[in-house]
Chain A
Amino acid sequence: DIQMTQSPSILSASVGDRVTVTCRASQNINNQLVWFQQKPGKAPKFLIHRASSLWSGVPSRFSGGGYGTEFTLTITSLQPEDFATYYCQQYNNYPRTFGQGTKVEIK
């Protein structure tokens, strides 16, 4: 199985900050990666597919990058509604596997 490792596990930041979350795959997954945002008590929300393609309606302050085994999710100018937990998931192989999550919290 492909292991997905996110870092950091917790990220403390302030409104207006630029933040970056990293996701590493244990083997090459090309660009077959999605990012989700999850708020407490809610289902995950789809943000990005194919590592860097923003889904419809997702603010442009979100961006994704990377290929192969290393990927990033960047939020420029963090907004109050962005404080949440972010997950990556690979869909290059079955079983599809998730990262353990990165909680973006208020500093």
Chain B
Amino acid sequence: EVQLVESGGGLIQPGGSLRLSCVDSGFTFNSDGMNWARQSSEKGLEWLAYISSSGTTIYYADSVKGRFTISRDNARNSLYLQMDSLRGEDSALYYCVRDWPVIWGQGTLVTVSS
């Protein structure tokens, strides 16, 4: 059974940085596109970023473009989200999401507060 496990969340001050990680226990990580999404009570579910299997194609939501960077290491079956210039409105539960089949991790909580 494919499982995605996120880590790296926590409490961070406004303006700070965090790096989220997601490890895929499946056997075909290097053949699938991956995404980051988040969920908060204020904004609901929000898609953030996509990276293709090779890493050559990347898309971002406008709300995080220029502040967040998605990347992957296929040798480590890992997906990353570098989050810089964090704001209060970035507080949410962050999920990694496999493109196909569509599988969500259990999420990692990010709280941006002073």
Contacts and interface: CB of A to CB of B under 8 A. Distances in A.
- A complexed with B: yes
Interface of A: 1, 34, 36, 43-46, 49, 55-56, 87, 89, 94-98, 100-101
Interface of B: 35, 44-47, 50, 59-62, 95, 101-107
B109 to A, nearest CB: 12
B61 A101 contact: no
Nearest to B58: A94
Given A94-B59, A95-B59, A95-B61, A43 B106 contact: yes
A87 B103 contact: no
Contacts, number: 41
Contact of B45 (A44, A46, A49): A44
Contacts of B101: 46, 55-56
Given A87-B45, A101-B45, A94 B50 contact: yes
Contacts of B44: 98, 100-101
B102 A97 contact: no
Contacts of B62: 1, 95
Given A87-B45, A101-B45, A96 B104 contact: no
